[in-house]
Structure formats: C-alpha cells, structure tokens
C-alpha cells in the first residue's frame, strides 16, 4: 500500500484573470489551499466565488482581487500593491 499524500504549502500564482475557484486561473492547475501563499499577478483580476482562507496573500501592482461579497481570511501576511475591492452594504 502507498503512503498517504501530504499537502505541502506552496506559492500559487495567478496566470490569468478569472474566478478564484477555477483551476485554470492558477499556475498549479488547482485552487489555492488554506496553507498556500497566494500571489495575484500584475494585470489579473481574480474574483472570489465563495469564502476562502490562505496563509499569505500578495496582490501585485495593477492586479485586482474582487471579493464578490465573500470573505477571505489571510492567516499570516497580506501585501497590497494593487487593488482589493469589496462590497460593503450599510
């Protein structure tokens, strides 16, 4: 019998504009895991379609993260060089 797989935290970087939950948005052909460091690369807009959690988040210059009225929990470092848009209702 084989060894059980272990998820190892890594850096996941956007390769295009798209939905957070779409695997083709990311260089790993996966969706970011809770323990990953996520980079939204310059020129890309990534939109959350559900609540998410990541270890670290970097939004590069000329990049956009649109929360799509969802929550994103960053458990460690957050670097904002681009734009983070959120829907706030009062």
Whether 50 maps to a domain, the answer reads: yes
Query: What is residue 89's predicted lDDT score, i.e. its pLDDT?
Result: 54
Which structural domain, as residue segments, surrounds residue 16?
Answer: 11-83
Backbone torsions φ then ψ of 25, nearest 5 degrees: -75, -20
> For 45-75, how does the pLDDT look when each residue is reduced to its tens digit (9 = 90+)?
999 999 999 999 999 999 999 999 999 999 9
Cβ-Cβ contacts under 8 Å for 1 (sequence gap 6 or more): none
Nearest residue to 42 via CA among 75, 72, 69, 65: 65
Whether 4 maps to a domain, the answer reads: no
Whether 6 maps to a domain, the answer reads: no
Contact between 13 and 42 (Cβ < 8 Å) = no
Domain tally, the chain = 1
Query: What is residue 86's predicted lDDT score, i.e. its pLDDT?
Result: 85
> For 2-40, how does the pLDDT look when each residue is reduced to its tens digit (9 = 90+)?
444 345 579 999 999 999 999 999 999 999 999 999 999
- Coil, strand or helix at 29: coil
């Amino acid at each position: 019998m084989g060894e059980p797989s272990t998820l190892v935290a890594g850096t996941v970087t956007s390769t295009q504009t798209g939905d957070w939950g779409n695997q083709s948005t990311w260089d790993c052909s996966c969706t970011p895991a809770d323990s990953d460091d996520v980079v939204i690369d310059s020129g890309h807009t990534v939109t959350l379609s559900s609540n998410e959690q990541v270890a670290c988040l970097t939004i590069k210059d000329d990049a956009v993260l649109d929360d799509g009225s969802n929550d994103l929990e960053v458990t460690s470092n957050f670097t904002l060089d681009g734009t983070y848009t959120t829907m706030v209702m009062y």
